[in-house]
Structure 1
Amino acid sequence: MHSTKLLLFAAFLEIICGTGAILQFSNSTDNFNSDRGRRLSFLRPSIFNVVRFSNDECYDGGNQSGTCYTPIECKTFGGSGTAMCANGYGTCCISSLFSKSCHNTTSQKVVYFKNPSYPASDNQQNYCDLSIDVKDADICQLRLDFLDFQLDPPTKGRCLGDRLSVTASKLATNSIPTLCGLNRHSHIYVSVPQDANSKAGRSASILFVTNNNGAYRWHLRITQIECTKMSDLNRVQKSFFGFIPEAALKVSLPAPQGCLQYYSTASGVIESFNFGHYLANMDYAICIERLPDTCKVVFSSSIADWAIDKNDAYKDTAGVGDIQCSNDYLLIPGGSRDGEGPTFDRFCGGKLSYSKSSQEPAPVVSKANGPIVLRFHTDNQLLTQNNLGFRVQFTQETTNCQSVSSNIVSNSLSVASLSAPVLSGYTNFQNTNENLVLRSNTKYLRLK
């Protein structure tokens, strides 16, 4: 998510700096990257309170949706603000630039895509698409957040009715799985790699195909992600402070290459698409950034939140390893009772447990090198039972870190083992050491 910074003069502090040091403040708001940076030369700088707020969706008094910007930014976008947001620092800017429905094209770096009658549902047969034009050379990914997503359910694991398809230039066909059913609060990343040998623009297409068999609605937030700049900023912040500041976490981070989903928090919940009836022909990576002071990740799931088809007659017991989980499985690298050997990768069955054929769920611990890469794989068989999917809680922990295994192969191999369509179109991100971060009153600035 892109964000806005406000600079509030607070006090002066004696700081000895080299002559000619430059303090750069930049707003990462739509289409204004290059011309909105401000450079202030100083010898003894003023200390600023930096108020940074995300350009989130907001609503005015009439329940019309807008995007939170400063009043000056809103005026620049040709919008009008009728309600405050961001604790009074922003205004809820109403502009057609930020909200789109069917058959539209946009180059805005943050845009919301909704069915025509949203927040109400529609039920007509429709072909509704949004084209995203990528103009900034530093953009290499899109993040699609499913704020609301209710389509027809799959038929025996396949999206034969309502469905979402996402394609992008220079991205292999079928790189992004077709989705349907219920996927509220989920997300995906879409690669839009730059081609140095081509002057053609880059674009992505988001297409909903719907029928008239039932009500449907969707509400997506699409964010263009600046990969090099954000990678640099996060890397320097980590090395300087040992963590990424909370304000930076509110900005969409680039996902590691090959990851359809990405989590950068200490804990969270990961859920299969259309949880309750998982989809056939899935093969994608879910990545978790390992925090620097942690040594293991604990995965747990209740009885009501786990059921993945198993290769024997005992469907309700835990499945572990290649023999029991050869067709449908969630891959957790180096999983075991405590993260030490012997370890397993594939988990399925009626319970999540490190113990084969267990009748009770039990946490699975991984001490594999980060980032942790999970892989959800399903075959093309028509699913009729044991098809709930997974809802897994993960927690990164710092306890008992003295005996971290060194013999667990880095789970980056898990990404490499994915099929070619999953990996096609992803590129490595080049980092350059250009930015330094200055902290003042727990706010973060970039020095160059």
Structure 2
Amino acid sequence: MLRIYFMSMGVLVFATSSLGGPYSQNKTSRESKQFSLFQVITFENENCLGSTRNGTCYTASECTDRGGSTSGTCASGYGVCCIFSVNCGSQSAENNTYLSETSSAGLSSCSYTICKSQSNICRIRFDFTTFSIAGPVNGLIENTNAAGGAIGDCTMDQFSVTAPGGVGSPVICGFNMGQHMVVDASDQCHEAVFNFGGSAMTPRSWDIKVTQFACNEEMGGPEGCLQYFSAVSGTISSFNFPTSSSAVSSSVTHLSGQDYRICIRRSAGYCAICYVPNFADAVTSLVASTQVSKISALKAF
């Protein structure tokens, strides 16, 4: 049995041949050798789940050629789950790309160029799995006279996402683990940009998953919505709010310049949304009140 494999662009081609008998058979027998038709196996370059991250299903050779790393299989074993993780200064047009840094020591800035993976991409989402950079000028009483109108400004570190021809993100800083941003996709590439000031010893780290959504994909959210929530219940908080804490300290400060839209999907069978403050002491904080609320959809009966 002879079996040959061809691999190209998400397509696997199998060519097989079977000998009709021993090699010493006569001419008639040799002429009766039958070659089967090529068997073509195709699969979509869909999202896949690797061992620790999401990726895109490609053939092994495609994954290597595109600069990805393999993490498990997909397409019933015919493809590999290809993971893309890029460093500062890199460009990517792959869905499920990760922007990661465990330390920004020595960096004054870090930018990533994100381009549409296909022409029909309408929304690009940035999920902050990890995100910690220097925070804003805080609103402690002793700072108000000295800082004045700078309270809430990201004067040391900043992060933002551009949207050429459209509306990009506001400038944010501080603690933003678990937050996300979604921008309307541009035909030009987007820039996800960090700028750093102050001490190079300030601990900074981030891990951001970038997901691209086609124009007909509901999970990309409506046009113009910087944040989009689709669960029946959950938590909404402003950027730089310590969602992992059990209380709000007096130093927690609302970022300035935060003018953006948050959209919530209405689930089938639900008719209202209930908003409840998540922290009992939120109103005692100087500038942190109403920064975070729990939401629950109320079902119609």
Which category describes the TM-score, using the shorter chain as reference length? Answer: 0.5 to 0.7
Equivalence map 1:31-430=2 (5 Å): 54-56=47-49, 58-59=51-52, 67-68=54-55, 73-78=59-64, 81=70, 93=82, 98-115=84-101, 118=102, 121-134=103-116, 136-155=118-137, 156-172=151-167, 175-193=168-186, 201-211=187-197, 212-228=200-216, 230-231=217-218, 253-275=219-241, 276-304=252-280, 306-307=282-283, 316=284, 385-387=286-288, 390-399=291-300
Residue identity opposite 1:189 in structure 2? V
Whole-angstrom CA distance in 2 between matches of 1:398 and 1:82: 41
Following TM superposition, the consecutive aligned residue runs of length 4 or more in structure 1 with deviations greater than 6 angstroms are none
What TM-score comes out, normalization by structure 2 length?
0.68
Kept in 2, the 8 Å contact 1:68–1:91? The answer is no
Aligned to 2:275, the other structure's residue is in SS state strand
Render the CA deviation track for 1:216-267: whole Å, top value 9, x for unaligned: 0111111121012x24xxxxxxxxxxxxxxxxxxxxx121122110011111
1:362 maps to: none
CA shift in 2, pair 1:109/1:84, >3 Å? closer
- Larger of the two Rg values belongs to structure: 2
Task: Tell me, yes or no, if the aligned pair for 2:97 and 2:211 is still in contact at 8 Å.
Answer: yes
Task: Give the Cα–Cα distance (whole angstroms) in 2 for the partners of residues 304 and 279 of structure 1.
Answer: 21
CA separation of 1:305 and 1:122: change in aligned 2, threshold 3 A: farther
Structure 1 residues 277 and 134 mapped into 2: Cα distance closer, same or farther (>3 Å)?
same
Q: Tell me how far 1:304 sits from its aligned partner.
A: 4.0
1:5-47 residue CA offsets vs partner (Å, 9 max, x unmatched): xxxxxxxxxxxxxxxxxxxx97353xxxxxxxxxxxxxxxxxx
- Runs of at least 5 residues in structure 2 that lack an aligned partner in the other structure: 1-41, 138-150, 242-251
Q: Over residues 145-167 of structure 1, what are the superposed CA-to-partner deviations in whole Å (9 max), with x where a residue is unaligned?
A: 00110000111211011110211
Aligned length: 233
* Separation in 1, partners of 2:85, 2:117: 19
The answer to whether the Cα contact below 8 Å between 2:273 and 2:295 also exists between their aligned partners in 1 is yes
Task: Provide Cα deviations, 1:385-413, integer angstroms capped at 9, x if missing partner.
Answer: 233552211111215x5xxxxxxxxxxxx
Q: CA RMSD in A?
A: 3.1
Distance 2:169 2:56 in 1: 32
2:49 touches 2:81 (CA, 8 Å); kept in 1?
no
1:289–1:152 Cα change, 3 Å: same
How many Å separate the matches in 1 of 2:289 and 2:81? 40
Which 5+ residue runs of structure 1 have no aligned equivalent? 1-24, 30-53, 60-65, 194-200, 232-252, 308-315, 317-349, 351-384, 402-448
Deviation (angstroms), 1:192: 2.1
Secondary structure, counterpart of 1:76 in structure 2: helix
Percent identical across equivalent pairs? 29
Which whole-Å CA distance do the structure 1 matches of 2:208 and 2:296 have between them? 27
Give 3-state SS (helix, strand or coil) of 1:145's partner: strand
The 2-side partners of 1:389 and 1:273 are apart by 12
- Displacement of 1:91 in angstroms is 5.5
Residue 104 of structure 2 aligns to a residue in which SS? coil
State the match for 2:249 in structure 1.
Answer: none
Contact persistence 2:136–2:156 (CA under 8 A): yes
TM-score by length of 1: 0.47
